[in-house]
């Protein structure tokens, strides 16, 4: 007998969904950063354990005020994840308290045909009395859904959560071969690792409106001693080009070094990484461009 199922992790931006997916998967599948809305599309993390397969669906943060076509399409990815889910994990940033839970509960309360788990994240940043108060407030509102207190960052409470998730996976043949860990191609993960380093290296200097396109990737599939990867960093304003490059190209060089190290660690091979910066003005408002570019695929 085999069991397999989709687990959709739903939360508001910056609640720690990607960190939780990585913790549950015991490996790095999704990029993380302090910036909200880091995750733009649905990413599957496939965990295989003997006769059990769990497909964790890391989704973008639910944007309450979706102003841009990009934001609306990201919300569509969340709705898509609910259509095939066997279990919903509702993730709440414990630091933001009961108000964040109320917001995400309102968004998911109409989904009454699927089992749910409520997970309060970042309890490592809360004192014991704050944890107890938040738990009591949630249980007062919701009495029939299990609530877990965890820290995805430190993995506190994650094994107990994982055990509960495993018990709720239905009987079903595996959806994917048991030797793959995600549905995304290598190019996707390479572009995401570069984007992650942009967030860390530039912080607030470069806003959310940046995306990375891998236009050449040689030697990865062949397992060569050194892979050659060329990437374009698209920004939305002319002023952002000089910020990305830095004085004398110092910042883009530093970005290349840090991103290359992350990619080498991920691939397990040496990498030559070439980075180019280009402008695509106001791309977040251009739905046709977003769909054509594959940013959300």
Q: Tell whether 175 is covered by a domain.
A: no
Is residue 227 domain-shared with residue 272, that is, in the same domain? yes
Is residue 27 domain-shared with residue 161, that is, in the same domain? yes
Per the prediction, the chain carries an average pLDDT of: 82
User: Residue 15 pLDDT more than 60?
Assistant: yes
Q: Tell whether 59 is covered by a domain.
A: yes
Q: Tell whether 39 is covered by a domain.
A: yes
Is residue 190 domain-shared with residue 162, that is, in the same domain? no
Q: Tell whether 106 is covered by a domain.
A: yes
Q: How confident is the model at residue 114 (pLDDT cuts 50, 70, 90)?
A: confident
Is residue 59 domain-shared with residue 123, that is, in the same domain? yes
Is residue 157 domain-shared with residue 242, that is, in the same domain? no
CATH code assigned at 60: 3.40.50.300
Q: Tell whether 120 is covered by a domain.
A: yes
pLDDT at 36: 41
Angle at 26 between CA 294 and CA 257, to 5 degrees: 60
Over the range 116-132, which residues count as b (16 or more CB within 10 Å of their CB) and which as e? bbbbbbbbeebeeeeee
Is residue 203 domain-shared with residue 156, that is, in the same domain? no
Considering only 36-50, 225-239, 257-271, which range has the smallest mean pLDDT?
36-50
Among 137, 167, 197, the domain boundary falls at: 167
End-to-end CA distance of the chain: 33
Is residue 205 domain-shared with residue 273, that is, in the same domain? yes
Query: How far is CA 193 from each of CA 45, 104, 266, 279, rounded to the nearest angstrom?
Result: 16, 28, 9, 20
Is residue 103 domain-shared with residue 191, that is, in the same domain? no
User: Residue 74 pLDDT more than 80?
Assistant: no
φ, ψ of residue 172 to 5 degrees: the values are -175, 145
Q: How confident is the model at residue 215 (pLDDT cuts 50, 70, 90)?
A: confident
Q: Tell whether 177 is covered by a domain.
A: no
User: Residue 35 pLDDT more than 50?
Assistant: no
d(CA 202, CA 73): 26
Collapsing DSSP states into helix, strand and coil, what is residue 245?
helix
CATH code assigned at 244: 3.30.300.20
Query: How far is CA 43 from each of CA 18, 82, 132, 237, rounded to the nearest angstrom?
Result: 9, 13, 33, 28
Among 108, 136, 167, the domain boundary falls at: 167
Q: Tell whether 178 is covered by a domain.
A: no
Is residue 158 domain-shared with residue 195, that is, in the same domain? no
Is residue 92 domain-shared with residue 48, that is, in the same domain? yes
d(CA 6, CA 126): 30
pLDDT at 294: 57
Is residue 125 domain-shared with residue 231, that is, in the same domain? no
**What residues make up the domain containing 67?**
3-167
Is residue 158 domain-shared with residue 241, that is, in the same domain? no
Q: Tell whether 174 is covered by a domain.
A: no
What's the structural domain count of the chain?
Answer: 2
């Amino acid at each position: 007998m085999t069991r397999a199922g989709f687990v959709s992790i739903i939360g508001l931006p910056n609640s720690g969904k990607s960190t939780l997916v990585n913790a549950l998967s015991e490996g790095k599948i999704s990029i993380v950063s302090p910036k909200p809305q880091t995750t733009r599309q649905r990413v599957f993390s496939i965990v295989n354990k003997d006769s059990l397969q769990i497909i964790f669906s890391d989704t973008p943060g639910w944007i309450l005020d979706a102003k841009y076509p990009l934001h609306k399409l990201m919300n569509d990815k969340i709705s898509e994840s609910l259509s095939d889910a066997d279990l919903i994990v509702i993730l709440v940033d414990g630091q933001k308290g009961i108000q964040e839970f109320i917001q995400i509960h309102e968004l998911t309360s109409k989904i009454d045909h699927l089992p749910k788990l409520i997970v309060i994240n970042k309890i490592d940043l809360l004192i014991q009395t704050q944890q107890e108060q938040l738990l009591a407030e949630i249980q007062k509102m919701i009495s029939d859904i299990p609530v877990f207190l965890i820290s995805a960052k430190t993995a506190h409470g994650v094994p107990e959560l994982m055990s509960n998730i495993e018990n709720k996976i239905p009987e079903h043949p595996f959806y994917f071969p048991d030797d793959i860990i995600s549905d995304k191609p290598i190019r996707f993960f390479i572009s995401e690792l570069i984007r992650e380093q942009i967030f860390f290296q530039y912080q607030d200097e470069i806003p959310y409106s940046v995306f990375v396109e891998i236009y050449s990737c040689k030697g990865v599939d062949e397992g060569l001693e050194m892979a050659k990867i060329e990437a374009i960093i698209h920004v939305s304003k002319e002023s952002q080009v000089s910020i990305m490059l830095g004085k004398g190209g110092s910042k883009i060089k530093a970005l290349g070094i840090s991103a290359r190290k992350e990619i080498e660690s991920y691939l397990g091979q040496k990498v030559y990484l070439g980075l180019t910066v280009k402008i695509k003005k106001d791309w977040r408002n251009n739905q046709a461009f977003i769909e054509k570019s594959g940013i959300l695929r």
